Structure 1
Amino acid sequence: NGIDSEKQAESDFTPFLNIMNEWYARDTSRKIQSIFRARMEEGKRVSPSVPYGYYRNPKNKQELLVDKESSKVVKRIYRLVIEGYGVTQIADILTKDKVLIPSAYAEIHYPENNHSSKKRGIEDPYFWTPTTVGYILEKQEYMGHTVLGKTICLDYKTKKRRKAKEDELIIFKNTHEAIIDEETWNNAQRLRKTVRRSPKYGTTSHPFTGLLICSDCGGKLSYREPAEHKEKKYDSDYSFVCQHYRHRKGTCSMHYIKVKTVNEILLKSIKEITDFAKEEKQEFLKVMNKLSDEKREEKYQGDKEKLEKLSSRNAELTTLITKLYEDHALGKIPVKHFDRLFNIYDTEQQDLEKQIQYFEEEIESYHQRKVETDKFLKMIEKYTDIEELTVPMINEYIEKVVVHEATGGRKGKDRKQQVDVYFNFIGNCQVPQKEEIEKLA
């Protein structure tokens, strides 16, 4: 730049020169980002990386083609999720079966995509990690979509980046052949969101974990099983109860239901809806469309009432906490009483806010939901002669199971309990009686 730093006059100009250089570098960075953004908005890929399961078309670098061998692994990973396996278990299975990890597979079959100056020298080409499996499970590219702008640059100097939010992504649908269908991908995302903690005395969680919902508070039901040291074990020992009742007594009622009962209800519901849909397809299409609208409206009104009650109690708690602070500030209440009451109110309010969020989301999605009978019919084609529940069947058929509080005591012939089964694609639809079919047809 022609500046002599040893000369005082020119040295005094150096800070201004640094500022100008800073502006120039920032401006250049912005222009480059704008160019990349413009290309992405045209649907053009700007990253050299290729999702595992695909390779670039040698004649058209923008086009992705399905790799025959690695795509089988991708399908297997999604199938294992539907069967109830977690990412750690899947990683262990692939490692045990000596399946090449994505980077090792690419290095062998597509060395031209290795843009580093030297080979990485992978220590163990068969060692899969839960992170790698999770990364494959979140990629929308497997549905045939082009997803661009996944990260955003925060600092042009440090090159620090952050993951883009869902609404910041640039997505072009159906740009290449899909490896995973949309229903399977969505099902996998739903199952991954379900936290399957091990029960206190057991070694594994139950396949129903995450599916059973409390009708009153919207919380999930927790799985319970007997202690290992208990000699005699009964059906009633294996059960689900509302998590809010279980961990914070007084915030909700028990909503106790035996695992055996849930199993019987789901098996019966799945068999009935499958037989009806297959044997009387046209009647199924007519009836489901009419019944689903009625059920959805009924649920919508019920959720609105529950939300109003929860919001009212939440407002009361806010008032109580505010008054508690005022009394504490004026010295009207001892510190120990303030701490105890504040913890009680705060804990209840945190629970309420979670419940409010659940019902707000349910109400917001009310108008977006629609019956997708064609997808349901396609899904049930693979199931014939259903005699027992399997994990894939549960995950593919069932969206959720809403459990109401029982009446008539915990045991005995007077005990009655409403259980609403929600199927994927068609919602809370029950097979109607012959008279109902004739009336609706």
Structure 2
Amino acid sequence: MNRTLTIPYYQQVDTSKLSDITVVYCRLSQDDGLDGDSNSIINQKNILFEVVIREKLPNPVLFVDDGFSGTNFDRPAISEALRLVENGQVSNFIVKDLSRLGRSYIKVGQLTEITFPSFDVRFIALNDGIDSNKPNETNSIFLPIKSLMDEMYAADTSKKIRAVIQAKARAGERVTVNPPYGYLKDPDNPKNWIIDPVASEVVKRIFQEAKSGKSANEIGKLLETEHIEKPDVYRIKNGRKPLSGVKNSNYSPYYWSRETITRLLGREEYLGHTVNLRKRSKSYKDKRKLENPKENWLIFENTHEAIIDQETFDIVQKMRSHKRSNQRYKNRVGHENLFAGLVFCGTCGRKHYFCPQEKNGLNHDHYKCSGYRKPIDGCENPHYIQKSALIEIVSDKLRQTIREINLNKEDFLKSLEKQSHAQFSKDNKRQHQQLQKEEHRSVEIDRIIQKLYEDNLLGKISDERFVKLSQTYEEEQKQLQTSISNLTEKLAKQQEDSLNISKFMARISKYTELPELTVEMVNELIDKIVIHKPTGTKRNRIIQIDIYYNFIGKLNIEKASQAD
């Protein structure tokens, strides 16, 4: 049931100067709303105000929490009412029944047994026959039992709701109530998402800035400078209620936090996918949302229009996994970590550190093996290389590749296909033979087990012998099935080579020339750069550098680059 959050009635009354207040408290959760009019706010209010008139209770003030679960005591109206109690301004507190106060045995007990008596507050739960001014032995025994039953009801309801949500999630139905920033609910079908023309452009801008190498903090400051409203402010301004968990702050309406940017950059919903079970709560009492491990997410592809293409999303995720800045040289021109996360050691396989450095006003930025001089399993050589030298080498190789493509694209494609085919043919033939052999053996084992079963029925072999032999063959068949599955996956992966060549060509064909390397260009085209151990000394010192491209790996048609 969709419900518009009711503004608590106490906000319409100035309680700061009132004393001897009668709190008339009403609560209705979304689930209670399904029970009919008997639990409605209007009926609760009418019933309770009859008590106020009959008992001649002074200064009645209505407090309403509409759409809040009784297991949650972080409700605006109850919080304000209890604040007045603790200020000594309340003389009476009335509810329709204990469950309206809450469905927590411990919290309700604390209020009715400690808080209200301590502040001399008369507590009335009308339908439960509880009135602290008219105590009786039956009520004193009944109250904690009733409170416990209310909590058990909440636990059972929560269990059922969780089961329904899990079933919907597995069936591919969205269990997220609100679409992420960039999308809107379809007015004709609220279960569908449509693109928000304004917010979606901001999402595209965020991804493009991340792809160009900007950090989440830098993107946030850029949006703030341009006075682009942050998601929760934009949501409220456009007539939608704030998301649960979003709290008011003293920050500017244009303040984009690093956490907000990071969260948006990781959302696969922008690819057009439905992502279910991304978060979970600890229990029905603790409503805080915890991140589920990604392997537990349920992802259903192409359920709505995408805002971000797969290529951009993948590049951004790759870049997000790399540390790009050094605090001492952060945002200083000329000290950018252009190859963040892409440079590796050819000896130990570890990543290279980026070491920004200035000496006598000159730039000495360089990359060095992160395993060098480690006390345990350290790398024997730093594989040190100047950033300027690496930029020159990578630029030259990319220019050479782009030039070859522009001169004769067909010849370049043939050489790529030949390189791929050579490795594919070698591995493919061997793995196909292995797959056929193992599939034949698996079928053969089925026949052997069938024969053993028949021999056992005819008394040719004993039951003990049959069990021992069949277990041995079944274990072998189990291992074969695992191997067959792995080989099938490898062969399927090898068949993607032609597609990968097309992907690489699509990316590099965007560049008809290479005036200057950029972070975006480097991450679009390069998978990794391997720095090998230097040979020679001083002026004869030579470092071999291998460049591995995205999708196709190292090009055999080019020689390894060298730096001195």
TM-score (norm. length: structure 1): 0.71
Tell me, in whole angstroms, the C-alpha distance in 2 between the residues paired with 1:124 and 1:277: 50
Displacement of 1:173: 0.6
How many aligned residue pairs are there?
358
Tell me, in whole angstroms, the C-alpha distance in 2 between the residues paired with 1:214 and 1:95: 40
Displacement of 1:254: 1.1
Tell me, in whole angstroms, the C-alpha distance in 2 between the residues paired with 1:271 and 1:295: 26
Tell me, in whole angstroms, the C-alpha distance in 1 between the residues paired with 2:140 and 2:327: 73
CA deviation vs aligned residue, 1:311-362 (integer Å, no higher than 9, x gap): xxxxxxxxxxxxxxxxxxxxxxxxxxxxxxxxxxxxxxxxxxxxxxxxxxxx
Q: Secondary structure at the match of 1:244?
A: coil
Q: Secondary structure at the match of 1:394?
A: helix
The equivalent of 1:263 in structure 2 is 391
Q: How does 1:375-394 map to 2 (within 5 A)?
A: 375-394=503-522
Q: How does 1:10-409 map to 2 (within 5 A)?
A: 11=141, 22-109=151-238, 111-112=239-240, 114=242, 124-198=252-326, 203=332, 204-227=335-358, 230-231=359-360, 233=362, 237-245=364-372, 251-252=378-379, 253-292=381-420, 370-371=496-497, 372-409=500-537
Q: Secondary structure at the match of 2:371?
A: helix
Is 1:428 aligned with 2:554?
A: yes
Tell me, in whole angstroms, the C-alpha distance in 1 between the residues paired with 2:425 and 2:368: 27
Displacement of 1:135: 1.1
Displacement of 1:100: 1.5
Distance 1:415 1:293, change over 3 A: farther
Which consecutive residues of structure 2, in runs of 5 or more, have no partner in the other structure?
1-126, 427-488, 560-564
Displacement of 1:268: 1.9
Distance 1:38 1:272, change over 3 A: same
The equivalent of 1:415 in structure 2 is 541
Q: Given residue 352 of structure 2, which amino acid in structure 1 is its aligned partner?
A: L
Q: Percent identity?
A: 33
RMSD: 3.5
CA deviation vs aligned residue, 1:101-146 (integer Å, no higher than 9, x gap): 112222233x145478x99698522111111111110000111111
Contact 1:53 1:71 in 2 (8 A): yes
Tell me, in whole angstroms, the C-alpha distance in 2 between the residues paired with 1:295 and 1:392: 30
Contact 1:212 1:403 in 2 (8 A): yes
Displacement of 1:403: 0.9
Q: Given residue 398 of structure 1, which amino acid in structure 2 is its aligned partner?
A: I
Contact 2:275 2:298 in 1 (8 A): yes
Displacement of 1:35: 0.7
Contact 2:402 2:513 in 1 (8 A): no
Displacement of 1:428: 1.7
Contact 1:292 1:429 in 2 (8 A): no
Which consecutive residues of structure 1, in runs of 5 or more, have no partner in the other structure?
299-364, 434-441
Structure ranking higher on relative contact order (CA contacts 8 Å, 6+ apart): 1
Q: Given residue 190 of structure 1, which amino acid in structure 2 is its aligned partner?
A: K
Displacement of 1:69: 2.1
Tell me, in whole angstroms, the C-alpha distance in 2 between the residues paired with 1:296 and 1:86: 39
